[in-house]
Amino acid sequence: MKPAVVFLFFFLTACYGFILDSVTNRKVCYGELGCFTTDAPFNGLQRPITVVPASPDVIKTQFLLYTRDSPTTADEQVLLYSDASTILSSMYSGSRPTAFIVHGFTHHGHRQWILNMKQALLKKRNINLIVVDWGHGAGIPYAQATANTRVVGAETGMLINQLISVTNTSAADVHVIGHSLGAHIAGYAGDRVQHLGRITGLDPADPYFQGGDPIIRLDATDADFVDVIHTDASSILELGMGSIQQMGHVDFYPNGGKDQPGCDAGLLGKVSHTVWNAVSQLDLYAGEATVACSHERSYELFTESISSSCPFKAYPCTSAAEFDLGHCLRCHGDECSEMGYNSINFAARGSLYLQTQANAPFCNYHYQLNVTGKNNMDGVVTAVLQGQNGNSSPIKLMTDNEVHTQGHTISKFIKIKEDIGEIVAVAMQYDKTSSVLTGWAYPEDWLLMGVSLMDGSTQQLSSFCGYGKTVTNHKAISMGLSGTC
Ligand SMILES: [Ca+2]
């Protein structure tokens, strides 16, 4: 059902199976869901093959309800939008907020990531949790799964409207979280609900959607608040599955949004690992995990953000490259936010950037350290940030054979996984180059002119007792905050 090769050739597969269906102006009608045509804008340039959605009887969408009192798969209750009694006799309560989780291409409603997110959301808040399982419609070919999202979105919208009319649910209290194609399903659902509260798009699918009319994809008009996390927006030729296009009120681009740390970047890495996993482990899911690693990171980040005490703070910047230099840690007014679950509590809008770790927990605290030296030197410079709650790991500021010229400021963007509290001192060590060829040209002592640190979390710019300090070869010094010198 889900061989890894699907991910490598889903365009070709789509063409192969559906070339005869690639005609425009086809139309199907599915009762109360209405009619669906392949007319514009659904047949745009970004859609080489345009087909109508399969019928609800084929897709067999299931809306699975969970609550704090019925949290497991064994407890799940199936809600039917066409039969209000299934809602009224269930554990659903209109006085609680409601969250939907919608999966994407080739997934289904009982994937581990959905169980993890469901568990975290129920623990965080007393809500109704509804998983949209459209696994029967989410398989290959991709062109058909893409078309089917329109029916699943219509059905989801229909169920939300039914919940509003029979249980006094407020649309403002409904949050639809969709991954990949599921993000666009959330958009279609939002089209049909007046003032849907929130949509979270987790790496919205790129092929067939990016650059298309807002009608065919997730956009900021689909809910009162739309937040998007982009994690796999490298080119489709490099098997990037997510969109780079801004689609919400606020769009987060962790690590630039294209490739995630800990995942293979680029076509060659992805393909070679996919083949290796598939052959060596005879495990076709392993291949999928490799190719989709960056794509899947979006829901891992969101799930972590639900319960993490680390804030996933994100910053505006002119570009991802500029952010990676540590130049954008200042927040003016309300322009910063927190990626994920808490983003709705912030007024920040537009594109925001942050960096994350390669492994869970992914969240980081961001700093920029600036050290200005008076004389030339060549050697390894290591710094440690000393916080009220602990120290950072040693951070390399300069490497051997990297010459520091007098008056130059070394700027280092630092990401720390732990909350070490307010930084009260910076320790530094200088190990002069051991090269016999060049070592004689540099002094044993390195004279400092200034040390300062920008802390992104607290927005505090601190300077330390670096002015006039001498760092002697192979000896560490610690500099307290200015004012304690
Ligand atoms: Ca839309």
- Domain borders along the chain are 26-354, 365-480
Cβ 464 vs Cβ 425: under 8 Å: yes
Check residue 265 and give its pLDDT. Answer: 62
Lowest-confidence region among 183-187, 306-310, 356-360, 378-382: 378-382
Tens of pLDDT, residues 340-375? 999 999 999 999 999 999 999 999 999 999 999 998
410 burial type by CB count under 10 A (0-12 exposed, 13-18 middle, 19+ buried): middle
CA of 188 to the centre of ligand 1 (A): 6
Model confidence pLDDT, tens digit, residues 132-180: 999 999 999 999 999 999 999 999 999 999 999 999 999 999 999 999 9
Quote the ligand 1 centre to 213 CA distance (angstroms): 8
pLDDT tens for each residue of 248-293: 999 999 999 999 999 876 555 555 544 444 443 443 443 444 457 8
Taking the centre of ligand 1 as the mean of its atom positions, its distance from the CA of residue 412, in whole angstroms, is 41
Query: Which of residues 265 and 198 earns the better pLDDT score?
Result: 198
CA gap 209, 204 in Å, rounded: 9
Q: Cβ of 18: how many Cβ atoms within 10 Å?
A: 18
Kindly tell me if the per-residue pLDDT of 10 is higher than 60. Answer: no
Which positions are annotated as active-site residues?
Answer: 180, 203, 295
* CATH number, domain 26-354: 3.40.50.1820
Annotation-wise, does 68 bind a ligand? no
Q: What is the mean pLDDT of the segment spanning 300-325?
A: 96
- Residue 284, pLDDT score: 40
pLDDT surpasses 90 at 438: no
What is the Å distance from ligand 1's center to 221 Cα? 6
The pLDDT, as a whole number, for residue 440 is: 75
- Dist. CA 320–CA 355, nearest whole Å: 10
**CA triplet 345, 350, 355: central angle to 5 degrees?**
80
- Between CA 485 and CA 217 the distance in angstroms is 58
Q: What is the pLDDT of residue 204?
A: 95
421-458 per-residue burial string, b: 16 or more CB within 10 A, e: under 16:
eebbbbbbbbbbbeeeeeeeebeeebbbbbbbbbbbbe
With H, G, I as helix, E, B as strand and everything else as coil, classify residue 198. Answer: strand
> Percentage of residues in the chain with pLDDT exceeding 70?
88
Return the structure tokens found at 76.
Answer: 């799940």
How confident is the model over 114-133, as a mean pLDDT? 98
CATH class of domain segment(s) 365-480: mainly beta
> Please, which pLDDT band fits residue 4 given cuts at 50, 70 and 90?
very low
State the pLDDT at residue 239.
Answer: 65
Residue 55 pLDDT exceeds 50:
yes
- Is 96 known as a binding-site position? no
Q: How far is ligand 1, taken at its centre, from the CA of residue 215, in Å?
A: 4
- Is residue 217 part of an annotated ligand binding site? yes
Q: Is the pLDDT of residue 45 over 70?
A: yes
Question: For 201-247, how does the pLDDT look when each residue is reduced to its tens digit (9 = 90+)?
Answer: 999 998 888 888 999 999 999 999 999 999 998 876 666 788 899 99
2 has a pLDDT exceeding 70 = no
Q: How far is the CA of 27 from the centre of ligand 1 (A)?
A: 20
